[in-house]
Amino acid sequence: MNKLSRWQGAGLLATTLLGTSVFILPQSSLNIAGENAIWAWVLLTLAIIPVTIIFGQLSANFPHAAGPAHFVEQAFGRVIGRAIGLSFLFAVPLGVPAAILMTYQFIDGLVSLSSTQQWLVQLAMLTSIYIVNFRGIRVSAQIQLVLTLVIVMVVAAMLFAALFSLEHAGIPVPNQDDINPLLIAAGLAFWSFLGVEAMSHLSDDFAQPAKDLIPAMLIGILLVGMVYVVCTLILYWLPNDQPLSMAVVFDQLFGGLGHWIIGLLGIAGGLATVNVYTASAAKLLASFAQQQILPRVFAKQNKHNVANRALLFILTIMAIVITYTYIADKQLEDLIFWVNGVFILIYLSAMLAAYKLLANKYRWLIHCSVLFCLVIIYGLGWNMSYAFCILSILVPIVWYQQKHLTSKVQNALISNKI
């Protein structure tokens, strides 16, 4: 049976976190916070470590395809747990179009297409994700480990070239006069660390989850954090206002081929990000179907132990949302902030669940993790509205469903006794 190793898991997480955003969000964060953007990435990387450890401990001790939803259910009951799980399914259809819009920026740097052709290319990306996931996540994990190493080598080469060519390439002192831009930049940059919780959905795919899951997650997180800090530094040293700044800087440092090298890596990374989130969402949908929260038709698996119908359904919803974003011309930043709002509530719920599920020795890590979540919520501000609205709708619906199911079971037991 195909299972993930520690390094495959690290590669899977790292490529998911790097995705398209490694070559785009550093510039966006600089636009928001200036020199403070570098420190936003540093602080975010350090702050996500306790969250990663807690997610790893929860996943190792309570492995389940439902991931955070299962943890919250174990701690606070079915209604809250299942509402949290369903909220993930509401975030993915927004997150995937955001990732695909990012990915298309790299394609746009290589070839000029009409708006209709752009839409068709985006739908073709979803088709490729289905083909990759049809045989299970391990096949893509092997490819994504290689992709991660290539991205790291390219970024490292750019760093050394920048240090060699620039006389003054220091690290700026943080501006403490106005902390709000740093928090807003951190709220946007949080998108780059969405994927930590996705690994909890895939804990059963590890050969030895208790041994390999946490090291894989920490390796991936630290590697990704360093790459984002380095990319932001490079763009701070060599500023430009072009749409794909990293490609322009690559051309400056190496004399050309920037749009091709950065573009191809961005496209591959974007598909990798969508791939992991699609696999996670399909597993969660199948898990809910097995528990009869959602129709059982989504629980059926193919010969590769992949919930094929759940996978097709998730991809179909994504295609509908992509079509809507194409027609309505939604802004990329709006989608990112809304998705971040849903995920930070999922993270906060999982960290609160850890109070009840994990030993006392993890309490200080949980305190750090909860504080991190509250800071990100503050940084997102009004962009949390989508997440709160989704949760306020889901909780009463799930409560009613559970009450209805309980009544049916009780009536069935009474009928059997009679």
Q: What is the pLDDT of residues 361-416, one digit of tens each?
A: 999 999 999 999 998 898 888 889 989 998 899 888 888 877 776 655 455 545 55
Average pLDDT over residues 98-126: 81
Q: Look at residue 142 and tell me whether its pLDDT is greater than 80.
A: no
Q: What is the pLDDT of residues 186-236, one digit of tens each?
A: 888 888 887 777 666 666 677 776 677 788 888 888 888 888 998 899 998
403 falls within a domain:
no
Q: What's the one-letter identity of residue 47? A: A
Residue keyed to tokens 């179907």: 289
35 falls within a domain:
yes
Q: Please give the pLDDT value at position 118.
A: 81
Q: Look at residue 328 and tell me whether its pLDDT is greater than 90.
A: no
CATH number of the domain at 39, please: 1.20.1740.10
**Residue with the larger pLDDT of the pair 352 and 256:** 352
414 falls within a domain:
no
Q: What is the pLDDT of residues 50-70, one digit of tens each?
A: 998 898 888 878 877 677 888
This prediction's pTM: 0.77
Q: Look at residue 74 and tell me whether its pLDDT is greater than 60.
A: yes
Backbone angles phi and psi of 113, in degrees to 5: -130, 155
Task: Tell me how far apart the alpha carbons of residues 68 and 59 are, in angstroms, rounded to a whole number.
Answer: 8
413 falls within a domain:
no
What residues contact residue 401 under an 8 Å CB cut-off, 6+ apart? 293
Q: Please give the pLDDT value at position 413.
A: 46
- Of 250, 37, 272, 4, the C-alpha closest to 149 is 272
221 falls within a domain:
yes
Say how many domains are in the chain: 1
- R_g of the chain computed on alpha carbons: 21
Q: Look at residue 146 and tell me whether its pLDDT is greater than 70.
A: yes
Q: Please give the pLDDT value at position 414.
A: 54
193 falls within a domain:
yes
Q: Please give the pLDDT value at position 218.
A: 86
Q: Look at residue 107 and tell me whether its pLDDT is greater than 50.
A: yes
97 falls within a domain:
yes
- Write out the residue range of the structural domain in which residue 334 sits: 6-393
118 falls within a domain:
yes
